[in-house]
Structure 1
């Protein structure tokens, strides 16, 4: 990367959409003759200068006076105004010469008159960068003028200033916008722009953490690394080079503080080494360490008055994290180590054993194997995972043995992952340099890929880890094999899942777990009776132990057995049992952690609630899980949760939302090989198609998912899709294609405990039955629904029954099930399903109740049509010929002609073009 390239990239204004919009509005108002004033504030490096330069470059409606302050001239009176006037373009006549201003000054009122006169000619932009470094007289004059400029003066004033520096009094009261650090997405965008795609995930995370959201520091850090460093082929230097000038800018205000205060600041910065990031320092610890150094407690006050530190209860925090880093970076090494030794001495008692060891580690000079061993021994429960990760990382750095160092870095990475910090885990894994890498490192890499990577890669890494760990770490061997089985499950690889679960060793201490292991294996090898009995026993045992323990504790606080119990219950079709297990697993995660398991707990519970017909509750839990997955960087979990949300939307009748979630699910599920997520997403889209009567499209989507072929669906979800496929196939004239699926579903329903399966099977048979049997089948399905519950599925059966009765010219009989279906769909909030029922009711000769007031207006034209007319209208609006419509809907061309004439009459249109234009607005489905 060349300096010139970096210079251009550094001007990329990533993450400043809101600020750019505000500045663009300021320029638009100025071009229209309306002036304004704005002060951009914030600490160094956040892009104040870049925003000011961008604004100056984009003002084309008139002249620009633009200057940046020169700190060396801040004691020369009127040097700032001189520089500002010297920046005037040659075409702008100035009534006063800059040299005269430097000699005799310029009164504030005279400056106001000057700017007003210039603005009267053409809209004028005055832009001063770092006005805090101007001389006081220039600053006072310009801020005086900015306050008195009226909007009609056509003068806009844009100033930038750093936090807590000179001139704060003059700037007080002016409209201000404070810049914050870049968020994760903006930092990633800037890094990608700086380096292209040639940057390793661990390197990206390390740069992001080191820069703390500061774009200037991020640019500098990336500029000082070689392509080999960026790609992760060489270890990163420690500390990272770059940004020294920026840290000097953060440290500069501290020079004016008393020596004792600066010593306390060093202690405060050093104390945060044993605290979670951003937690600050314990005030009591600082005072004890200060007393050991002979510093009184009152010496903290100047730092608080200067805005460097702020108190919050019993904690003291640096106003900016980079100020803390600057304090440590600029202090001599000897003073830093002395500060850490003072803190270690002040951390007395057994409760502070780990922090004391951390401070001693920071003061260490070179390898210290005894101290490293002590740190590793102290990094145990109930210490939080994030603290254990930090302690083990320090123990690794102090370990002279390469193999032991690699093992401890891998252990630190595991705890960082469990703490919900996957980026930090990758950074720690990058420091594992032993060849070959220990099994523990493969294990953590596999866990990371399982949540955010290709499923096949995760499975292979975890199988490798299991082979390496088997001789000496049974617990992680079991977890690695279960993780490999989960990866194969997500990928739809039944053979891979069976292979991994078969390798899991028996547990003499936990016979219930052996029931789970052998039960899954029995199901995958075609022994459903044996497998279901074992899984039923496992789920009952785990839930029994959970109920006997304290609330939310699961089994010893570990949510994994409860999550497995939920899976077992779903495989058995016992959805209520699955939801109970999921709720207890979620409680266990919230009470005891680990944070990394939160998205999975919410995903399992949401899917169980979907299967139980509680769609609104599933949606709430899935949204929370999606937020957690995004926060924790778990894209695979996010893909599954998007699929759950797509399914919920297909029930609640928001097909736009359904399509958006389905697309989001496929975006990561496709590249990562997550067949389960893509199957659920396709199912959701197909069900939304059914909601609006697109049965042929739904059948086309579902057909390959429920039968053999080159693009099969997930082996576990296949049976759940059959009722939708049979409905779509029957309604689109493809009933013969569905008969084999119904027979497979019948065999499955005979052995599942799913309470909805008998009703679904009866409904499927009703759809395919001859007229002499169909009514009895529908009545049978409704009787099963009465026993199993669930408004939505019962309403679907009633809708299909009413549709069948109406098509058999029995409109009076059709109205009763259709009215019941409408009431049930409305209780579910299934908006588009209610539209379909209203259309059927109108076709049966009954005026349908009015739509709710919030119904989209774009749905109104189609409400005038019967369901079949709606299907014809949509096809024609999409450009299909009558013959193509007939083939798509499995009707004759003559029928299409008849329906199309009625559509034209009902909608008041005279051509296909007018029909397409009428229906071209955003569709509510």
Structure 2
């Protein structure tokens, strides 16, 4: 009998110890391992701890939801959030975690009206918190609500708390939330600074998953600046880790960055090809919390590549996203996308509407993109004075936020707006040899030198040689200017 009582006392202790072990393992895998494995360890921890340590069990369940979120598995995320973590006798559980859980669940179930209250309570409770993990949850709640100011404030407090306690892992996560919040707010230089610091902190902690997220955000920041080599390098690092560990969110951000760099360099067909699977329906669609952010880029790329029909079905999704309110730039982007797809002169009012909405949301980059597209549209309708004003405003906006490739594209439009006539341009193209003209046309369509070489059955070196001569003969300095000149002749 005594031995039976002793075994009964020992059994719960063994279960709790096993639960703690699984919780530690799961949290480590969440930061540095396959996130699907992390979710299973964390769910096991939640079940083992539920009877004796319900608050710790709830924390394990919320971490399991984070793992499902990182994997982009919305069904698994909802399943985790719907599960029960029973409280012990006389206990009601952790209100902070419960509210965060209820808010996430409501959003994923497409019931945003039920999410606002719980998530706002998370933010209110966090105002008196000094624990990094609670402040990180507050930053996540603010991002879910689209309250970017609160997200940056909570992220900054989490960073200070992490540094105060010497927790390098929390420091890297806080910098991740800060960088992402800055990107969403259109503050790309600040996002890059936080992400660069985050890479160092994540490396010091040995957390590759956090490293992948920071590299994806560095790729996005570089895509604004137009540094194609940097974008490809950062994105490759992010994707290597993301594919190995099942990080759908980091992978989607990295792919979007590469596509946006293609768009900046005047290669809309490449951008549309890369973004199409991410934003379209099907198993290759990007992360459920991120793919909508890339839709405006895809619409622009598809229209500029001459395939507007590919973009039309996505405008309805973008309208729902804009109405949700989690992205301050979405209403203006929606108006811009509608302008790109509008027939005849209906685009005029839509572009003006987009610019008015940009004034409300703030941010130089998105506004400058709309000014560029509007100026291009005006120029093609021979409204040259209006086009000059819009393109000039776009150039100032791009230069202000350091978007060098976008500024170069705008400069080419400005030169075309007041440069040589169509006859003079045609005469310039007439000076090309037949082979040079073929290469010029392929390049103007967005083909790379290697693709041109394959089409013409020549070496890449031969294409490089001819293209240099094309540039010198026509007096152009970039592929974008060449595309504009070829386009002028074809109209």
Task: Determine the C-alpha separation between the residues in 2 that align with 1:705 and 1:574.
Answer: 25
Match of 2:135 among 562, 580, 586: 562
Task: Determine the C-alpha separation between the residues in 1 that align with 2:94 and 2:59.
Answer: 14
Residue equivalent to 1:720:
293
Match of 2:55 among 460, 475, 492: 475
Cα distance change on mapping 1:502 and 1:803 into 2, 3 Å: same
Task: Determine the C-alpha separation between the residues in 2 that align with 1:819 and 1:903.
Answer: 29
- Residue 461 (structure 1) aligned with residue 41 (structure 2): yes
What pairs with 1:570-589 in structure 2 (closer than 5 Å)? 570-589=143-162
Contact kept, 8 Å, 2:55 with 2:94, in 1: the verdict is no
Cα distance change on mapping 1:882 and 1:836 into 2, 3 Å: farther
Residue equivalent to 2:317:
744
Task: Determine the C-alpha separation between the residues in 2 that align with 1:592 and 1:463.
Answer: 28
Structure 1 residue 788: Cα displacement? 1.3
The more displaced of 491-500 and 603-612 is 491-500
- Residue 627 (structure 1) aligned with residue 200 (structure 2): yes
Task: Determine the C-alpha separation between the residues in 1 that align with 2:269 and 2:417.
Answer: 23
Cα distance change on mapping 1:647 and 1:876 into 2, 3 Å: closer
Task: Determine the C-alpha separation between the residues in 2 that align with 1:646 and 1:805.
Answer: 32
Structure 1 residue 508: Cα displacement? 3.1
Match of 2:98 among 511, 514, 526: 514
Match of 1:594 among 167, 170, 183: 167
Q: Secondary structure at the match of 1:526?
A: coil
Structure 1 residue 476: Cα displacement? 2.3
Structure 1 residue 763: Cα displacement? 0.5
Task: Determine the C-alpha separation between the residues in 2 that align with 1:870 and 1:820.
Answer: 31
Q: Secondary structure at the match of 2:48?
A: helix
What pairs with 1:688-699 in structure 2 (closer than 5 Å)? 688-699=261-272
Residue equivalent to 1:841:
414
- Residue 532 (structure 1) aligned with residue 116 (structure 2): yes
What pairs with 1:547-696 in structure 2 (closer than 5 Å)? 555=129, 557-696=130-269
Structure 1 residue 751: Cα displacement? 2.2
- 1:243-280 CA distance string (max 9 Å, x none): xxxxxxxxxxxxxxxxxxxxxxxxxxxxxxxxxxxxxx
Q: Secondary structure at the match of 1:878?
A: helix
Task: Determine the C-alpha separation between the residues in 2 that align with 1:906 and 1:686.
Answer: 25
Structure 1 residue 511: Cα displacement? 3.4
Residue equivalent to 1:872:
444
Residue equivalent to 1:831:
404
Cα distance change on mapping 1:613 and 1:513 into 2, 3 Å: same
Residue equivalent to 1:387:
none
Q: Secondary structure at the match of 1:908?
A: helix
Contact kept, 8 Å, 1:811 with 1:844, in 2: the verdict is yes
Task: Determine the C-alpha separation between the residues in 1 that align with 2:343 and 2:15.
Answer: 70
Task: Determine the C-alpha separation between the residues in 2 that align with 1:692 and 1:771.
Answer: 27
Task: Determine the C-alpha separation between the residues in 1 that align with 2:143 and 2:224.
Answer: 20
Task: Determine the C-alpha separation between the residues in 2 that align with 1:530 and 1:475.
Answer: 23
Task: Determine the C-alpha separation between the residues in 2 that align with 1:489 and 1:736.
Answer: 32
Contact kept, 8 Å, 1:815 with 1:846, in 2: the verdict is no
Residue equivalent to 1:447:
27
Contact kept, 8 Å, 2:16 with 2:49, in 1: the verdict is no
Match of 1:542 among 125, 132, 135: 125
Task: Determine the C-alpha separation between the residues in 2 that align with 1:842 and 1:680.
Answer: 34
What pairs with 1:219-230 in structure 2 (closer than 5 Å)? none
Contact kept, 8 Å, 2:106 with 2:114, in 1: the verdict is yes
Between structures 1 and 2, the one with greater helix share: 2
Contact kept, 8 Å, 1:542 with 1:562, in 2: the verdict is no
Task: Determine the C-alpha separation between the residues in 2 that align with 1:443 and 1:510.
Answer: 17
Contact kept, 8 Å, 2:378 with 2:387, in 1: the verdict is yes
TM-score by length of 1: 0.45
Structure 1 residue 775: Cα displacement? 1.1
Task: Determine the C-alpha separation between the residues in 1 that align with 2:382 and 2:442.
Answer: 20
Cα distance change on mapping 1:473 and 1:763 into 2, 3 Å: same
Q: Secondary structure at the match of 2:418?
A: coil
- 1:581-623 CA distance string (max 9 Å, x none): 1111111211235332111111011100111111111111111
Task: Determine the C-alpha separation between the residues in 2 that align with 1:436 and 1:583.
Answer: 35
Cα distance change on mapping 1:753 and 1:905 into 2, 3 Å: closer
- Residue 908 (structure 1) aligned with residue 473 (structure 2): yes
Structure 1 residue 827: Cα displacement? 1.0
Question: What count of residue pairs does the alignment treat as equivalent?
Answer: 437
Task: Determine the C-alpha separation between the residues in 2 that align with 1:523 and 1:610.
Answer: 22
Structure 1 residue 667: Cα displacement? 0.9
Cα distance change on mapping 1:521 and 1:510 into 2, 3 Å: same
Structure 1 residue 825: Cα displacement? 0.8
Residue equivalent to 1:503:
83
Residue equivalent to 1:788:
361
Task: Determine the C-alpha separation between the residues in 1 that align with 2:114 and 2:241.
Answer: 36
Task: Determine the C-alpha separation between the residues in 1 that align with 2:240 and 2:78.
Answer: 28
TM-score by length of 2: 0.83
- 1:9-49 CA distance string (max 9 Å, x none): xxxxxxxxxxxxxxxxxxxxxxxxxxxxxxxxxxxxxxxxx
Structure 1 residue 842: Cα displacement? 1.2
Q: Secondary structure at the match of 1:776?
A: helix
Cα distance change on mapping 1:516 and 1:504 into 2, 3 Å: farther
Structure 1 residue 483: Cα displacement? 1.2
- 1:755-796 CA distance string (max 9 Å, x none): 212111111111111122111111111111111110111111
- 1:471-530 CA distance string (max 9 Å, x none): 222232122111111111000011111122223647736534432211111111221221
Residue equivalent to 1:419:
none
Structure 1 residue 452: Cα displacement? 0.7
Which 5+ residue runs of structure 1 have no aligned equivalent? 1-400, 408-433, 547-554, 848-864, 885-900, 910-914, 920-925
Contact kept, 8 Å, 1:451 with 1:636, in 2: the verdict is yes
Task: Determine the C-alpha separation between the residues in 2 that align with 1:668 and 1:883.
Answer: 35
Structure 1 residue 873: Cα displacement? 7.8
Contact kept, 8 Å, 1:818 with 1:841, in 2: the verdict is yes
Match of 1:710 among 263, 279, 283: 283
Task: Determine the C-alpha separation between the residues in 1 that align with 2:446 and 2:76.
Answer: 44
Q: Secondary structure at the match of 1:484?
A: helix
Task: Determine the C-alpha separation between the residues in 1 that align with 2:442 and 2:191.
Answer: 31
What pairs with 1:137-148 in structure 2 (closer than 5 Å)? none
Structure 1 residue 870: Cα displacement? 9.3
Match of 1:493 among 73, 78, 86: 73
Cα distance change on mapping 1:589 and 1:882 into 2, 3 Å: closer
